[in-house]
């Protein structure tokens, strides 16, 4: 046997062995398939967020996928801890109001009102009638701007960028109204314990009517673009479904709950301010899906505009601090006269202030603030114009004095844009809260999100998450 024949024999033997080995292994695999009747399958874990654009940079969802179907979801919210509740304990009661702006920063006026009413309940005081109407008016304008943002952003995430632009245009009309009243657009810090910072400006009713007319035109356009749009309806209908029973067990409120057919609304169930004097409807859905939540929010905006219009019609006047028929005089002259003891008739005079001293309160201060010197800061004119106002102001702002509710606790809920927004305040008798706790409407919905997502497609996660209208500031305090 030649050397070449020996090599061919060795190579052939090796090939036979390799073929036999492959056939053996294939036989084992075939045997396994025969035993089980199926091949081995594994689900895939996909991380969405916190850097994903739809997760707002603060939420992480680890989705378990079987192909494109979500079979499990782990929702993590702890990427934006702002320490709101702890910060409220570090300063006087009114100091917490700017912090409340940063809870749901899309509708901050409702946060302001909820916190102040909790402290007022603790104090046992009630604001004036005009102030109640003003709080309702500003809260409902804020609610509309919140819904506009939610629907516009959700539509954009589904590709309807035109709707987003239209909704933001409408929001601008409302933010201009808010700016005229509060001086700011987003972080407004408008309310005070016992009242509000200032009265409504002149021509506000006319400005509101013009803004609402433009807003209704935008909503009509968006309704035509979305409500009967085949693509939009197919992406939203029967997606993100939650039953009545599950919604209640998770503590879900707001449009998310009302989309299931339950007409719970804090403004009707536990009326506050003047909501029990104004007739309005509570829109409800049937299926508890993303489409119903969209429809509920669209109708709620119309109802909020109705509430504002009726409140403006019934807005009561307020008492006047001084006689508006009196003579005007410069503030500096009044101070000089007072130093000489010549103060006769000053109470019946209107002081002509420069812009720095005049502030935004004017003679309307008593109409929009409770007559409680131990709670409400005096008007800026009084602080700079007479010794009593200066002393009142000093006592309310100096450390160790200020607003001092009696020892106790109080919880007050309001209807936020996303549901029941509650503030729980505990007082130890000092000038700062012992404890402030927020009941945010986003949190229960996010707790239920993992259950809602299961069974839907991966592409359905974004519209479902958008329908939650998650606001990070109130979610992770």
- Going from the C-alpha of 81 to that of each of 84, 86, 103, 474, the distances in angstroms are 8, 11, 11, 10
Confidence bin at 332 (pLDDT 50/70/90): low
Query: What is the tens place of the pLDDT at every residue in 87-97?
Result: 999 988 988 99
Cα distance between residue 240 and residue 232, in whole Å: 14
Sequence-ordered alpha helix ranges (H) in 315-417:
331-339, 355-358, 365-368, 380-385, 387-397
The answer, yes or no, to whether residue 10 has pLDDT greater than 80, is no
Confidence bin at 82 (pLDDT 50/70/90): confident
Domains of the chain by residue range? 83-319+401-439
The answer, yes or no, to whether residue 37 has pLDDT greater than 90, is no
Confidence bin at 363 (pLDDT 50/70/90): low
- Going from the C-alpha of 88 to that of each of 70, 98, 119, 217, the distances in angstroms are 40, 10, 12, 41
**What contacts 92, CB < 8 A, 6 or more positions away?**
397, 402, 403, 431, 432
- Going from the C-alpha of 148 to that of each of 213, 216, 273, 382, 418, the distances in angstroms are 15, 12, 24, 40, 13
The model carries a pTM of 0.81
The answer, yes or no, to whether residue 372 has pLDDT greater than 60, is yes
Tell me which DSSP letter residue 405 carries. P
Give pLDDT, residue 326.
Answer: 42
The answer, yes or no, to whether residue 325 has pLDDT greater than 50, is no
CA-based torsion, 115, 116, 119, 120: positive or negative: negative
Query: What is the tens place of the pLDDT at every residue in 88-123?
Result: 999 889 889 999 998 998 999 999 999 999 999 999
Least Cα distance to 451 among 439, 474, 468 occurs for 468
SS3 329: strand
Burial level of 433, CB count in 10 A (0-12/13-18/19+)?
buried
The answer, yes or no, to whether residue 170 has pLDDT greater than 90, is yes
Query: What is the tens place of the pLDDT at every residue in 400-420?
Result: 777 888 999 999 999 999 999
On average, the pLDDT of the chain sits at: 84
Cα distance between residue 63 and residue 442, in whole Å: 20
DSSP string, 3-29: HHHHHHHHHHHHHHHHHHHHHHHHHHH
Confidence bin at 313 (pLDDT 50/70/90): very high
Give pLDDT, residue 222.
Answer: 94
The answer, yes or no, to whether residue 462 has pLDDT greater than 70, is yes
- Going from the C-alpha of 399 to that of each of 403, 413, 434, the distances in angstroms are 10, 29, 15
> Pairing mode, if any, of strands 328-330 and 350-352?
parallel
Q: Which residues pair with residue 62 across a beta bridge? A: 47, 74
**What contacts 419, CB < 8 A, 6 or more positions away?**
252, 253, 254, 255, 256, 257, 441, 444, 445
CATH code of domain 83-319+401-439? 1.10.645.10
Query: What is the tens place of the pLDDT at every residue in 200-258?
Result: 888 899 999 999 999 999 999 999 999 999 999 999 999 999 999 999 999 999 999 99
Contact 192, 113 (CB under 8 A): no
Q: What six digits make up the tokens of 345? A: 């008739």
**What contacts 324, CB < 8 A, 6 or more positions away?**
350, 363
Cα distance between residue 306 and residue 304, in whole Å: 5
Q: Where are the beta strands (DSSP E) in 416-471?
A: 420-427, 435-439
Percent of the residues in the chain that have a pLDDT greater than 90, as a whole number: 52
The answer, yes or no, to whether residue 364 has pLDDT greater than 70, is yes
């Amino acid at each position: 046997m030649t050397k070449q024949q020996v090599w061919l024999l060795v190579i052939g033997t090796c090939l036979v062995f390799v073929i036999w080995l492959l056939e053996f292994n294939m036989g084992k695999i075939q045997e396994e398939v025969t035993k089980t009747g199926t091949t081995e399958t594994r689900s895939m874990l996909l991380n969405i967020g916190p850097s994903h654009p739809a997760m707002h940079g603060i939420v992480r969802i680890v989705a378990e996928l079987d192909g494109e179907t979500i079979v499990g979801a782990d929702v993590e919210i702890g990427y934006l801890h702002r320490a709101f509740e702890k910060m409220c304990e570090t300063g006087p009661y009114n100091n917490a109001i700017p912090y409340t702006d940063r809870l749901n920063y899309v509708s901050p006026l409702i946060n302001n009102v909820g916190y102040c009413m909790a402290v007022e309940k603790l104090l046992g005081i009630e604001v004036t009638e005009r102030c109640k109407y003003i709080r309702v008016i500003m809260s409902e304008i804020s609610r509309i701007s919140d819904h506009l943002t939610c629907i516009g952003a959700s539509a954009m995430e589904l590709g309807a960028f035109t709707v987003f632009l239209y909704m933001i245009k409408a929001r601008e009309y409302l933010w201009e109204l808010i700016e005229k009243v509060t001086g700011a657009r987003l972080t407004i810090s408008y309310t005070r314990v016992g009242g509000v910072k200032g009265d409504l400006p002149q021509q506000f009713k006319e400005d509101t009517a013009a803004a609402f007319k433009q807003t209704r035109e935008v909503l009509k356009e968006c309704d035509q673009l979305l409500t009967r749009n085949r693509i939009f309806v197919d992406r939203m209908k029967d997606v993100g479904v939650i039953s009545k029973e599950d919604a209640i067990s998770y503590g879900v409120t707001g449009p998310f709950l009302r989309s299931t057919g339950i007409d719970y609304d804090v403004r009707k169930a536990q009326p506050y301010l003047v909501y029990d004097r104004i007739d309005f409807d509570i829109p409800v859905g049937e299926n508890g899906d993303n489409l119903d939540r969209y429809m509920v929010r669209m109708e709620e905006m119309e109802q909020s505009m109705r509430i504002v219009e009726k409140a403006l019609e019934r807005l009561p006047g307020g008492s006047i601090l001084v006689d508006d028929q009196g003579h005007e005089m410069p503030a500096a002259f009044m101070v000089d006269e007072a130093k000489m003891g010549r103060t006769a008739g000053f109470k019946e005079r209107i002081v002509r202030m420069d812009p720095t001293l005049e502030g935004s309160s004017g003679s309307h201060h008593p109409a929009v603030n409770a007559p409680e010197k131990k709670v409400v800061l005096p008007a800026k004119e009084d602080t700079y114009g007479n010794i009593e106002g200066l002393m009142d102001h000093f006592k309310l702002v100096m450390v160790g004095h200020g607003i001092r509710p009696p020892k106790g606790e109080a919880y007050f809920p309001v209807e936020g844009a996303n549901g029941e927004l509650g503030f729980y305040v505990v007082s130890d008798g000092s000038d700062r809260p012992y404890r402030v706790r927020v009941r945010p409407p986003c949190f229960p919905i996010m707790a239920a999100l993992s259950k809602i997502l299961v069974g839907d497609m991966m592409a359905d996660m974004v519209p479902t998450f958008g329908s939650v209208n998650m606001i990070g500031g109130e979610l992770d305090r």
